[in-house]
Amino acid sequence: MTEKTSKSNSDLQELRSLCTISDAAWPSGIGSVFWQGNLLECLPEQSIWAESCMIAAWSGWFGEETQGVYEADPRLWLGKGDEMLHGQLDQIHKKLGGADGVVGEFLLRPHARHVLSDHLACQRYLQERPSDKFGLLLDPVAMLEPSMLPDARDHLIRTREALGEHARALIVSNVNKVSDGLVSCALDAGELDSDMLREQFQAYPSDLPRFTLY
């Protein structure tokens, strides 16, 4: 498989810029980045690996992305997305093994319309990848679809019960409806009741690093 990498640093976002609200231990400074590219299409460029001790990324998607709204594409759930993602993770594992002088962690951030779309997909990923190299940047609210909002609390509880003890870090966020999808936003600026969300996020382990969207 020929390795294809992104050609621009414009897809990078410092994890610290998400504004940590936890005192838990976490890689600091330039060493921790969130790469916003599509992992099914390419890998983060080589220079990122050399500079970062920890990289987080979406698990990849098919179809179009418009201002944070992703197209619902059935190929994601018919095996093709999972196959492509694990091919990319095999390449990443080689990098994390030190062959290229890289020692660090790679975290995947789930989303309802990405390969890691629900807690079952996240559990399979965590079971199949070594925990010292791969982990989960859990974003519970991003795993909701518009039809799930009326019962959001129940869905968030199930996600926490399934993944809360296994995540490497937690995204604290809300969502807004846009077209036929949802877009992540700050905790107090979305469709869901912020007090309900705070209650859910506070129920996660106290030493789990937390990041909040502006």
**CA–CA dist 162, 189 (Å, integer):** 27
Q: What pTM was estimated for this model as a whole?
A: 0.86
Q: What is the pLDDT of residues 57-80, one digit of tens each?
A: 999 999 888 878 898 888 887 888
Residue 3 domain-assigned (yes or no): no
Give domain status of residue 125, yes or no: yes
Q: Quick check: is 4 in a domain?
A: no
Given a cut of 90, whether residue 51 has pLDDT beyond it is no
- Percent of the chain past pLDDT 70, that is, above it, reads 80
Residue 119 lies in a domain: yes
Full domain range(s) for residue 169: 9-19+29-212
Q: Is residue 92 part of a domain?
A: yes
Reduced to 3 states (helix: H, G, I; strand: E, B; else coil), residue 12 is strand
Answer whether residue 2 is part of any domain: no
Q: How many residues does the chain have?
A: 214
Residue 1 lies in a domain: no
Identify whether the C-beta of residue 113 lies closer than 8 Å to the C-beta of residue 71: yes
d(CA 76, CA 39): 13
Provide the number of structural domains found in the chain.
1
Q: Which residue has the higher pLDDT, 199 or 15?
A: 199
Between CA 66 and CA 60 the distance in angstroms is 15
In a domain, 145, yes or no: yes
pLDDT band at 10 (very low <50, low <70, confident <90, very high): very low
Q: How far is CA 138 from the centre of its chain?
A: 6
